[in-house]
Amino acid sequence: MKGQLPRETVEAIVAGDHGDAFAVLGMHRTDGGVAVRAFLPGAAAVAVIEARTGQRVATLERLDDDGFFAGLVAGRGPFPYRLAVDWPGGASEELEDPYRFPPVLGELDVHLFAEGRHLEVDRKLGAHLTTLDGVAGTAFAVWAPNAKRVSVVGAFNHWDGRRHPMRKRVECGIWEIFLPGVGEGALYKYELKTAWGDLLPLKADPVAFRSEHPPRTASVVADLERLRLDDAAWMRRRAERNQRHAPISIYEVHLGSWKRVPGEGERYLTWRELAQDLVPYARHMGFTHIELLPISEFPFDGSWGYQPIGLFAPTSRFGPPEDFAAFIEACHHHDVGLIIDWVPGHFPNDPHGLVWFDGTHLYEHADPRKGQHMDWGTLIYNFGRNEVANFLYANALFWIDRYHVDGLRVDAVASMLYLDYSRKADEWIPNQYGGNENLEAIDFLKRMNELVHLREGAVTFAEESTAWPAVSRPTYLGGLGFSYKWNMGWMHDTLVYMSKEPIHRKHHHDQLTFGLLYAWTENFVLPLSHDEVVHGKGSLLGRMPGDRWQKFANLRCYFGFMWTYPGKKLLFMGGEFGQEREWNHDASLDWHLTDDPLHRGVQTLLRDLNHLYREVRALHVLDCEAGGFQWIDCQDWEHSVISYLRFDDDGGYAVVVCNFTPVVREAYRVGVPRGGWHREAINTDAAPYGGGNVGNGGGVMAEETPWHGRPFSVSLTLPPLATLVLLPA
């Protein structure tokens, strides 16, 4: 046949070694005419059918026993065609040839991706249901610039990487192909050969929108274009719900262990079941937001989601993507915001993931002194590589744009900021100025926050445990640009204080008061997170000293203190009813405990504290400003009592008094701004909360007796191990 291919070209296609299959397969003009070439392993005969007329225009010749066919067709070409294939045993079918279709990515997409400025990567990479030239199928695209050959594999081609090698867009290193007939729900992976010809383990799609249920690891073709969230009313008000003057009380949840179905093998609740159960519960309890431990697909349950691989896929453990969207709709219909934990700092080394993706250190740093987390055995993204940073930027925006997620809590920020984080002296490389700051990660975080904040009302939270300055200040003022920062110092100091026997607390009084020295340097969230109830730390209740009654009283007092202290609030699930055992990610919370009056009392208190925090502006509107707080008396260390005022921006205030000893204190006088009746809005020792009901009969009258530098004062009975909140009439 004129224009016949060299034998080595045919052999390279058959062996899956050819790096440019589109230059060989499909329809091509040759010096002998228009040729059609196809590789169909196992086929007995192949003919070419002109698509418009349905006429057979050529029978292809078998050039290799493994199934390489080629032949000349009549006409000038190229033109739309199908392949008529006869299989051994008499079966036959007509197939669309993927190698007759044009490139999927446009020139602008290629240009922007090459520059690291394509912020809608999810619209182009991954698997997208598409119709080309009137033919329905799926377009696949993956970034692997250093691979010799990339193929998409699945049941549709018997997981044979030789059958559908992809087209390389050399301008940007993306491989693409349109596969006719491949529809929603199809399982797929990518088969890659390195530059030196070695086959890598099959890779999941980095931009897959759905994955198989672990431990299976294939990606799944999913259609996100039909997602239409019915939450316009929430979206119009989102900015006011998330801003620093709003009440923000966050219920942190690990979905796999919040509640399970005991009658069905302790299975997980589905997204839709969680929408019907978790969301109304959070709303009833008065929380303004739910925060989910990472829900991007992850292989190992024991990582709690903090070692994700499918950054664009909500985990299949709870159902498909459309059900996740329904869960978010339910949140917003109940006026509850949704925050997700987002993990851009590292990824696991599972072979089907990002590690050594195209036979090179593509996503991770090559040097382990920059590219590995010694503590966690994970790999660190190369934030200085434009395409990698672009991938992460696009992922952050994906959750906000596609699913209307309201906020991202960025995990392990401290580990990103410092090159020497948890490393020995010889295990890290200084930056270009000789310092330990990770300049590339800093630039990445700043740009990420700038992009997220372009979405109206979207917010970011930093888990940052060091003294890095201005974490929650705008980038134009030299900050990192986060909306809020977790106050890890407050959490550590106050939990250590509360773990002390009351008789010793007077010697540690500064652990209660020290946080006010820096309370206004950031927009703080007070976090009692999952990290405080694992790894042998026990539960919050278990860390409280004393007998059973005192443990509950201490916990109630602590919650009263926390909910009136400046800063937004975060509580990990189970804490709201006094879970007794340490958190176990493999089991449901102990919901039966709420049948016990003491546990139910803590739960009732938390609900009332949340509602008070939301309703009383003095308790939230100036959470992040010095004008919202004044000490009444922070020096009564001898009695382990503190008292303070919270103010709003219109003259309103709340009086808070905390007694951290089991001693009832009669006629305890505190100064207040004005006279009149002061209602006892919260008494954590009240009987409905499981307390002894010691208190002030519902309130007290402020007397014109100067005290603590104020013209009026109230004389109080302080219940044991309790917090009081008084509101002026």
Catalytically active residues, by annotation? 411, 463
* Sign, CA torsion 428/433/435/441: negative
- State how far the Cα of 283 lies from the Cα of 548, in Å rounded to an integer: 29
Q: Where are the beta strands (DSSP E) in 270-380?
A: 289-292, 296-297, 310-314, 337-342, 372-373, 378-379
Phi-psi region of 667 (alpha: psi -120 to 50; beta: other; left: phi over 0): left
Tell me how far CA of residue 487 lies from CA of 197, 494, 516, 565, 627, in angstroms.
51, 11, 11, 12, 19
- State how far the Cα of 28 lies from the Cα of 23, in Å rounded to an integer: 8
Between the CA atoms of 687, 690, 695 and 697, what dihedral angle is there, to the nearest 10 degrees?
A: -10
For residues 235 and 457, is the Cβ–Cβ distance under 8 A?
Answer: yes
Token representation of residue 311: 């950054």
∠ CA 370-372-374, nearest 5°, is 115
- Residues β-bridged to residue 160: none
Q: Supply the Cα-derived Rg of the chain in whole angstroms.
A: 31
Q: Where are the beta strands (DSSP E) in 451-609?
A: 459-462, 484-486, 524-528, 568-572
- State how far the Cα of 605 lies from the Cα of 503, in Å rounded to an integer: 26
The number of residues making up the chain comes to 729
Q: Is 504 helix (H, G, I), strand (E, B) or coil?
A: helix
Phi and psi at residue 93, to the nearest 5°: -160, 160
Token representation of residue 252: 């942190």
Token representation of residue 385: 């590589």
Q: Is 447 helix (H, G, I), strand (E, B) or coil?
A: helix
Q: Token pair 């209307």 is at which residue?
A: 404
For residues 320 and 222, is the Cβ–Cβ distance under 8 A?
Answer: yes
For residues 77 and 87, is the Cβ–Cβ distance under 8 A?
Answer: no
Closest CA to 604 of 299, 285, 249: 285
Q: Where are the beta strands (DSSP E) in 298-438?
A: 310-314, 337-342, 372-373, 378-379, 407-410
CB neighbour list of residue 281: distance below 8 Å, 6 or more residues apart = none
Phi and psi at residue 684, to the nearest 5°: -70, -5
Q: Can you list the alpha helix ranges (DSSP code H) found in 1-69?
A: 7-15
Burial of 71 (0-12, 13-18, 19+ CB in 10 A): buried
For residues 609 and 619, is the Cβ–Cβ distance under 8 A?
Answer: no
- State how far the Cα of 321 lies from the Cα of 404, in Å rounded to an integer: 13
How many other CB atoms are there within 10 angstroms of residue 565's CB atom? 24
- State how far the Cα of 462 lies from the Cα of 341, in Å rounded to an integer: 10
